[in-house]
Structure formats: C-alpha cells, structure tokens
Amino acid sequence: MQPKTGLHVTSAENLNSILSCGIKPEIGERSRATGESRPRVYFFPSREACDTALSTWLGDAFEDVVEEDGLVILEVDLAGLRIESDAPFELAVAEVIEPTRIISVMDESWAEFAGEFPLIELA
C-alpha cells in the first residue's frame, strides 16, 4: 500500500524557495555525501524513521546546518505520485513536489514551525 504522506527534512534556509517553487529532485551536497546517484526527493514514511535518521546519520549530515539555520520537517501529500523505495525507512520521488502538496511545516521538536516564510495557503 502506498503511503499517503511523507516527511522531508531540509534546512530552514530552503523553506522560502520550497514554498514558492516546490522541492526539486537533484543530487545535492548531502545526496552526494550519502552515495545517492539519481536525482530524487527523499522522504521518511514515519515520524519514527525520521527521528531515527535525525539522531544518527542524517543528523550528522546536517550538523553544520543545525548550528546555522536550523532544520524544518515538511509533511507532504504523496497521493498519486510514483514512489520508489529501496529501504523500509526511505521513500523517493523523481518528480518536482509542488508547494501545494505541503501539508505542514515543523521544527526539529515537531512543533509547528514559527519562523518566517511567505504567506501561501498550505494544503
């Protein structure tokens, strides 16, 4: 069964762009560092999987960002998208995730994000 939502972790610095243009599949700095070879947008299928990653390998990969800008967790509507999964803790999508698919924005403590971002209507 395909998950209805996924959790995407990114720097709070990226939030304005994401809320304006969406999340674009690409091989960025962290994707290269973790050995990813195909442009994808990555999600966690559950809060537990996201927390585990943030407390281990993903937290290490974002260590510099946490100190500077902080992280945000985006809950995204995945309905109707072609989802790939090579591991039970990870989902990948090869297409642009439109801003209208963003359901909520949270900080690392899972509280509603209180930072500044453009006024757009979240799904």
Backbone Cα Rg of the chain = 13
Asked if residue 19 belongs to a domain, the reply is yes
Q: What is the pLDDT of residues 3-43, one digit of tens each?
A: 799 999 998 889 999 999 999 999 877 777 777 788 999 99
What's the pLDDT band for 119 if we cut at 50, 70, 90? Answer: very low
Q: Specify the pLDDT at position 34.
A: 75
Q: What is the pLDDT of residues 76-118, one digit of tens each?
A: 999 999 999 988 899 999 999 999 999 999 988 888 887 665 4
3-state secondary structure 9-53: EEEHHHHHHHHHHCECCECCHHHHHCCCCCCEEEEECCHHHHHHH
What is the pLDDT averaged over residues 53-68? 81
Structural domain including 93 reads 5-107
Cα–Cα distance between 80 and 14 in angstroms, integer?
A: 25
Read off the CATH number of the domain in which 82 is found: 3.20.170.30
Counting the structural domains of the chain, the total is: 1
